[in-house]
Amino acid sequence: LQKSLSETFGADKYSRARKEVLTYMFSRPMQMALYFCTGVLDDETLFHHYALNVPFYTHFTSPIRRYADIIVHRLLSASLGARSPIKMEKEAIQKQADHCNDRKMASKRVQELSSDLFFSVFVRVRL
pLDDT at 30: 62
99 and 81, same structural domain?
yes
pLDDT at 31: 66
pTM of the model: 0.64
89 and 76, same structural domain?
yes
94 and 70, same structural domain?
yes
Of 26-30, 32-36, 68-72, which range is least confident? 26-30
119 and 82, same structural domain?
yes
Contact 55, 47 (CB under 8 A): yes
How many domains does the chain contain in total?
2
Q: In terms of residue numbers, what domain contains 109?
A: 34-126
Contact 67, 96 (CB under 8 A): yes
User: Dihedrals φ, ψ of 54, to 5°?
Assistant: -120, 140
Q: Determine the Cα angle at 35 with ends 115 and 97, to 5°.
A: 105
